[in-house]
Structure 1
Amino acid sequence: MGVDVAESIQATAYLAAACRAVETSARKPRLSDPYAERIIASHPDGARIRKGLLGAGTDEVVHRTILLDRLLARAALTAGTTVVNLGAGFCTRPYRLDLSECAEVIEADAPALIKAKETLLADADPSCPVRRVPLDVRDVNQLAALLNPIEGPLVVVTEGLLVYLPRTDLAAIAATINASAAQRWLTDIVGLSSAAAMEQLAQKSGAGLNLYGLGDLRPFEDNGWTVTDYRPLPVPARPGSRTKTGASSTDVVDGVLELTAYKTE
C-alpha cells in the first residue's frame, strides 16, 4: 500500500510509528501496534527508517507512548469524554486501546497526513468514534475554533509535538486550551540539554529541524495549568545533560505530564 506524503509530512510522524513497529516485533513487547508496520511500509524509505532505529533511541519514544497510554486510559474512563489529539501524527490509540467510554476522539494534524492516515487505516475498527481535522496547531484561532464548541469532559493530548514549538507558541497554545472546556492535558516535555542534543543529531542526519526544550514550566503555569502527575523518561546519556529524578519550575527533565486546568480570568 503506497501513500507518498514524504514531501509534506515531518519524518517524525513516521519515526514514532517505526518505534512502535520495532517494539511490536520484539520478543517480549511492552506494547502492541498491529498497524505500525503498514504505516512504515507506506513510506518510500520505510525499511531504512525501521532498520536505523534499532538501538538508536527507540526506548525513550516507546516509554513515552506507554506512559501516555496509561494516563489516557485513566482520564478517558468518564463516560462521554472527548479526546483531542493535537499533532496526532500516525497515533493509533483509538485502535490499540479501549476508549469505548469516549464520545469521540478528534485527531488534528496537517492535511496530507490526515489524508494518508484515512487511507492506511480505512479497514481498521476503532473502539470509539474518530474524527480527523486538518489543523495547524500554531494557529490559535483554528485551535480555538476546534476546541471551544466541545462540551462535557475534554482531554487534550500532545505527544512528540511541543519540542517543535518556540516558547511563545507553546504559551499561546496553553492559554487557548485553557480557555476551552479542557480540564486535563496529557503531554511529554523535553529539557533544554536533550533538545539541543536531539537537534544536533537531526542536523547531522540532514533533517534540519529546529527543536525547543524547556528550562522551566512557566509556559504551562502562567497560562492556567498545574502539574498533577509527572513520569520521567529513560533519557539516553547525552553530553552536558544531568540525571534527575523529578521536575520543577526551575529544573526540567524529559518526561510525561498530566496537567490540570485552573481557569484564568
Structure 2
Amino acid sequence: MVESLISISEVSDTAIWMAAYRAEESLRPDALFTDPIAEKLAGELRAAVLSSKVAVPGSRDGWPPVVRTALIDSLITRSLTEGCDRVLNLAAGWDTRPYRLDLPPALSWFEVDLPKIIDAKNRVLADEVPRCRVTRGSVDLTDPAASAAVVTAMADGARQPLVITEGLLQYLEPAEVRALSEILLAAGIRWWITDLWTPSMLRLVNRTMGRHLGQARWAFGPARGVDFFQGWTRVDGESIFSAAARWRRSPVWLRSAAVLPGALLRSGVVRLRVAE
C-alpha cells in the first residue's frame, strides 16, 4: 500500500501526499494554515510519504504544495469578499477547506473527483462538520460530456461561481484543458483559481519523478502562461517560488533566486476572471 502511494498509478494517488504535507505544516509554530483533519486523512501512511525522496522534486517537506495551498486559501477568501456565492472544486482530492476556512454557512461548496476518492472521503469525514454546505459527486474530468453536465448542474442558479482546479491541469493534455475552459465559460463561471507551471518545470518534474508518476506524468505547461486561456483574463496571483521565499518555506539556497525575474518564477497560482 505504501509503495503504491510512492509509485503512483493515477492522479488521484497524489491526494495522500497533499494531506501529509498539510498535516506536517499544521504542526509548525509559524504555520501558514491549520488543517486538523489532514492527520486523519494521511493516517499511518504519513510517515512513509514524508520520508520519501520522490514526493516533490528536491524536497522532503512538500513546501511547493504547502505554499500553493496557502495562496489558494487567500484567493478564495478574496473571491468571497467580492461576491462569490458558490465554489466548485474540481479534482478536490483530500482537500478540507470547507472544514477549516472561515466560510459563510449558507455558501454552497461542491467537490468532484473520481469515485474511489469521493467514496473514501465521505466515509472518513462522516463525523466531521463542515462550515458551509458541502455536496460531493464523482466524475471523470477527462470526459468532456460528463464534465459539462456536472459543472453545469453545480453552477446552476449561482450568480458568481468560482471554480478551483488545484493540482489538476498539469496532468491534462492541452486539448483537455482547452475543453475544460470552454465548459467553464459555457456554465457561467465567474472566477477560476488554478496553479500553472512553466514548460521548464514540466520537463523537470517528468525528468526527476517520471518513473514514479507512471500514467500520471505532467503534460500541461503552457509556454504562454495565462494567455493560453481564451475568454479569461488574469486578475491576480503570485509565484509559488516568490511566496515560498517570503514565508521561508523554500530551501535557503533558492530564496535569493526567488527575488530575481525568470521563467521559473512564472510557475504559480493565478485567479482568472471571465473576460469582459
CA contact (8 A) 1:151 1:181 kept: no
1:119 to 123, 133, 136: 123
How many matched pairs?
250
CA contact (8 A) 1:78 1:101 kept: no
Aligned-pair CA distance for 1:129: 0.7
Amino acid at match of 2:273: T
Q: Which runs of 5+ in 2 are unaligned?
A: 245-249, 252-256
CA contact (8 A) 1:167 1:219 kept: no
Aligned-pair CA distance for 1:207: 2.8
Q: Secondary structure at the match of 1:89?
A: coil
Residue 247 of structure 2 aligns with which residue? none
CA contact (8 A) 2:140 2:146 kept: yes
Is 1:198 matched up with 2:202? no
Amino acid at match of 1:196: R
Residues 254 and 46 from structure 1, CA distance in 2 versus in 1: closer, same or farther, beyond 3 angstroms?
same
Residues 35-46 of structure 1 aligned to structure 2 (within 5 Å): 35-41=37-43, 45-46=45-46
Runs in 1 of length 4+ with deviation above 3 angstroms?
5-9, 77-80, 242-247
CA contact (8 A) 2:232 2:274 kept: yes
Aligned-pair CA distance for 1:58: 1.4
Q: Secondary structure at the match of 2:234?
A: strand
Distance 2:12 2:141 in 1: 14
Residue 228 of structure 2 aligns with which residue? 219
Aligned-pair CA distance for 1:196: 1.2
Report which of the two has the higher share of helix.
2
Q: Which runs of 5+ in 1 are unaligned?
A: none
CA contact (8 A) 1:19 1:61 kept: yes
Residues 72 and 251 from structure 1, CA distance in 2 versus in 1: closer, same or farther, beyond 3 angstroms?
same
> Greater relative contact order: 1 or 2 (C-alpha under 8 angstroms, separation 6 or more)?
2
Task: Give me the TM-score of the superposition, normalised by structure 2.
Answer: 0.81
1:180 to 168, 181, 187: 187
Distance 2:201 2:176 in 1: 20
Residue 49 of structure 2 aligns with which residue? 49
Counting aligned pairs with the same residue, the percent is: 29
Aligned-pair CA distance for 1:98: 1.5
- With 21-30 and 111-120 compared, the bigger mean Cα shift is at 21-30
- With 151-160 and 108-117 compared, the bigger mean Cα shift is at 151-160
Residues 32 and 252 from structure 1, CA distance in 2 versus in 1: closer, same or farther, beyond 3 angstroms?
closer
Residue 142 of structure 1 aligns with which residue? 146
Q: Secondary structure at the match of 1:257?
A: strand
